[in-house]
């Protein structure tokens, strides 16, 4: 019996990953509760004590000064002991899972798609636990099948109705950790990831730098014939990745971040961390990107507000403002440089904002805003009249 008892404990320790000392404490508690059921009286007033020798397997149960023998344990007492042990084992399993995955927050785990629910994807994490990827944490490119292998970022681990392991496929940490796995130079600390800007399912820009002059940071991340970055793109279901060489020179870094567009000139305002970028007309759409994605990600990566324009667009915007009597060429140039490219953007401005600009005082600012509002009102009236005319002609 003793050998059997120790053998069962050892087996549970191996299979469930629960420390033997925790199991012994569970048995002690279960036997103490069972012992109290044997003795008549209020359980709160009964003192039960259990001693277990972890080496020999000897078990002694005491109620007060009296030791109980196994024959005194009835069916109900045995059932109680069994239920308590099972409950303690489950609690210990949950604690083990929580502790293991709590330590993995901020890392990535691999799993197999176990279930597809309406609001989430459930992963089997190598038989140990289940991970939940809420739909809001999925990339737009994620379309999984049951049985498919997937990597995900451990976003949060919490104890709610058991253990909840919340995973993410949208978090930029997933990209960072995938590069750690695929690029040994990053793991070894030779190449460092300085920043990541991500638009999940569309594009990611990652800035890297080498701490060893002999190692090309971009080449290390790309791999031979693109093997390393291809593996990451495949895991991200085809999301585009731009690998950019980080540099302390902000202008050079901005140029790299806006690639593949060719930059003509960059003007920096270090106080406001704003960069005015000038490009040729044929490079404007490329530098801004589809729906402004390229310049938006570049701004996030560099940590500066980037305003991209072409000479032609600047001249066009200046002309738009010259219809105002209160605005001359110099004032129009100042306004466009400050980001006021049309009448609507000026109409939203406060007089105090405009008066803070070079060459525009409080009186001038107030007159500009007043004239802008009148001009917009005239435009709106003309549009309404045109709409009515068109409606009458069609009827």
Q: Averaged over 132-155, what is the pLDDT? A: 96
Q: Averaged over 296-311, what is the pLDDT? A: 92
Task: Indicate if the pLDDT at residue 222 is higher than 90.
Answer: yes
In sequence order, the 6+-apart residues with CB closer than 8 A to the CB of 151 are 108, 109, 110, 174, 178, 235
The mean pLDDT value of the chain amounts to: 86
Q: How high is the pLDDT of residue 29? A: 82
Q: What's the token pair of residue 118?
A: 């309406």
Pairing of strands 163-168, 149-159: antiparallel
Q: How high is the pLDDT of residue 322? A: 85
Burial class (CB in 10 A: 0-12, 13-18, 19+), 363: exposed
Task: Indicate if the pLDDT at residue 77 is higher than 60.
Answer: no
Domains of the chain, start order: 2-102 (3.30.1480.10), 108-170 (2.40.50.140), 175-246 (3.30.300.20), 247-319 (3.30.300.20), 322-392 (1.10.150.20)
Q: What's the token pair of residue 255?
A: 């140029």
* pTM flag (> 0.85): no
Task: Indicate if the pLDDT at residue 1 is higher than 50.
Answer: no
Q: How high is the pLDDT of residue 3? A: 59
Q: Averaged over 101-112, what is the pLDDT? A: 94
Q: Averaged over 311-338, what is the pLDDT? A: 84
Q: Averaged over 50-79, what is the pLDDT? A: 75
Q: How high is the pLDDT of residue 24? A: 81
| 52-61, 96-105, 203-212 — most confident range | 203-212
């Amino acid at each position: 019996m003793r050998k059997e008892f120790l053998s069962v404990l050892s087996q549970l320790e191996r299979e469930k990953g629960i420390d033997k000392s925790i199991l012994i404490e569970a048995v002690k508690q279960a036997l103490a509760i069972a012992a109290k059921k044997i003795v008549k009286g209020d359980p709160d007033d009964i003192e039960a004590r259990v001693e277990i020798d972890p080496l020999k397997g000897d078990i002694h149960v005491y109620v007060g000064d009296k030791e109980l023998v196994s024959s005194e344990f009835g069916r109900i007492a045995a059932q109680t002991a069994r239920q308590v042990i099972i409950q303690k084992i489950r609690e210990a399993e949950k604690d083990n899972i929580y502790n293991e995955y709590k330590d993995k927050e901020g890392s990535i785990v691999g799993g197999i798609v176990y279930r597809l629910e309406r609001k989430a994807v459930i992963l089997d994490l190598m038989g140990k636990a289940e991970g939940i990827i809420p739909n809001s944490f999925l990339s737009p490119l994620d379309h999984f099948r049951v049985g498919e292998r997937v990597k995900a970022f451990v976003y949060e681990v919490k104890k709610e109705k058991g253990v909840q392991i919340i995973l993410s496929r949208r978090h930029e940490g997933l990209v960072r950790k995938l590069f750690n796995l695929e690029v040994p130079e990053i793991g070894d600390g030779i190449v460092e990831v300085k920043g990541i800007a991500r638009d999940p399912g569309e594009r990611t820009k990652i800035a890297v730098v080498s701490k060893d002059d002999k190692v090309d940071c971009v080449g290390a991340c790309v791999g031979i014939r693109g093997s390393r970055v291809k593996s990451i793109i495949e895991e991200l279901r085809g999301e585009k990745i731009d690998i950019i060489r980080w540099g302390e020179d902000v202008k050079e870094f901005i140029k790299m971040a806006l690639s593949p567009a060719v930059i003509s000139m960059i003007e920096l305002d270090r106080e406001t961390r704003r960069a005015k970028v000038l490009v040729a007309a044929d490079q404007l759409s490329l530098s801004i990107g589809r729906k402004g994605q390229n310049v938006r990600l570049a701004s996030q990566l560099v940590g500066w507000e980037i305003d991209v324009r072409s000479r032609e667009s600047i001249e066009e915007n200046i002309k738009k403002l010259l219809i105002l009597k209160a605005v001359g060429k110099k004032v129009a140039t100042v306004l466009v440089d400050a980001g006021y490219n049309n009448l609507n953007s000026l109409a939203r401005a406060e007089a105090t904002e405009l008066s803070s600009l070079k060459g525009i005082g409080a009186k001038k600012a107030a007159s500009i805003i007043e004239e802008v509002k009148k001009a917009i009102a005239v435009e709106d009236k003309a549009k309404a009249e045109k709409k009515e005319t068109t409606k009458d002609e069609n009827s």
